[in-house]
Amino acid sequence: MLLTSLILMEADPLPAGKSLVEVRFGEVPMKLFTYKPKDFSDGPVIMVFHGVLRNAEEYRDDSVAMGDRFRALIVAPLFDEATFPKPKYQFGGILKNGKATPSNEWTGEYINRIVKEIRRREARPEMPLYLIGHSGGGQFVIRTSAFVGTDAKRIVAANPGTHLFPTLTADFPFGFAGLPAELQTDARLKSYLAQPLTIYLGTQDIERDEYLDVTAPADLQGKTRFERGQNAYSAAKRIADERQWPFGWKLVIAPEVEHDHTKMFNHSQCAEALELAEPRLPVRVPR
């Protein structure tokens, strides 16, 4: 099947296949790489977040099978490094030079702006939203879930390099210490643990590669991404149980998968991570 790439500037509905939507939020231009299955009608939107290579177009291309599988609209935003360096992307833009930034400048707010635009173009204001980020994108959705309210049905962090532990004994971005007092409250931690967050891990993501944070604070979370994810989930569940707080997290494991976003997205366990069922085709009764 030949998929053409279009550049859409107007507020038209997205065409079937691949497209590139260029939008502007205030002074910030953004590129949204999208894919709409031919049989798309009333499905959800899955927003896909790239890692440190800033390869949003590749992530869109590698999410086509996921879009077809769940009859979902795929939107892969590009967070370019010049505008969104590591503190603004992986760490969510919560702090700048050690000081808290205004909440309307937190990078996670772009999720709300993007989905509002997509829903407007599709004329579906109640279109269900799902988020999935791999590696650096997983870090982004984790920290976003702690500070920015979205209406995402499920937020999936796949193979993130580091986590935000719900603790005041580790400095941000690894924990909540060092943040302004209003961001360290029990109410904030309780809300974070109630988020519909999935920690989605490949069992073979055990290499300490060039992109893994191997600083001392990061290594306190574990030596590998697989270990760190399990430890983050266990710590979160323990605190929620101890305080009898609602706990919305889940841990999903993809056997025999390394640090590879395509394999994670296409794995059978991705349905469990997103909590999305594959639509059944109508059964034709012979006459």
- pLDDT tens track for 92-134: 999 998 888 999 999 999 999 999 999 999 999 999 999 999 9
Average pLDDT, the chain: 94
- The fold of 19-274 is Rossmann fold (3.40.50)
pLDDT at 12: 79
Supply the pTM of this predicted model: 0.93
Q: Is the pLDDT of residue 285 over 60?
A: no
pLDDT at 174 over 70: yes
At residue 10 the predicted structure's pLDDT band, cuts being 50, 70 and 90, is: low
Nearest to 56 by CA among 154, 141, 134: 134
Torsion sign, CA atoms 176, 178, 180, 185: positive
pLDDT at 257 over 90: yes
Please report which confidence band the pLDDT of residue 286 belongs to, taking 50, 70 and 90 as the band edges.
low
Q: Does the structure show a pLDDT above 80 at 226?
A: yes
User: Is it the case that residue 65 has pLDDT exceeding 80?
Assistant: yes
**Cβ contact 34:122 at 8 Å:** no
N residues, the chain: 287
Cα–Cα distance between 221 and 224 in angstroms, integer? 9
> Which residue's entry shows tokens 């833009």?
93
Q: What is residue 99's predicted lDDT score, i.e. its pLDDT? A: 87
- At residue 4, the pLDDT reads 36
Q: How confident is the model at residue 1 (pLDDT cuts 50, 70, 90)?
A: very low
Identify the pLDDT of residue 6: 41
DSSP for 216-281 reads: HHHHTT-SSHHHHHHHHHHHHHHHHHHHT-----EEEEETT--S-HHHHHHSTHHHHHHT-PPPPP
Stretch 60-84: mean pLDDT, rounded?
98
The rounded radius of gyration (Å) of the Cα atoms in the chain is 19
**Predicted pLDDT of residue 279:** 75
* pLDDT, position 282: 54
Tokens describing residue 267: 């794995």
Nearest residue to 274 (alpha-carbon basis) of 284, 264, 283: 264
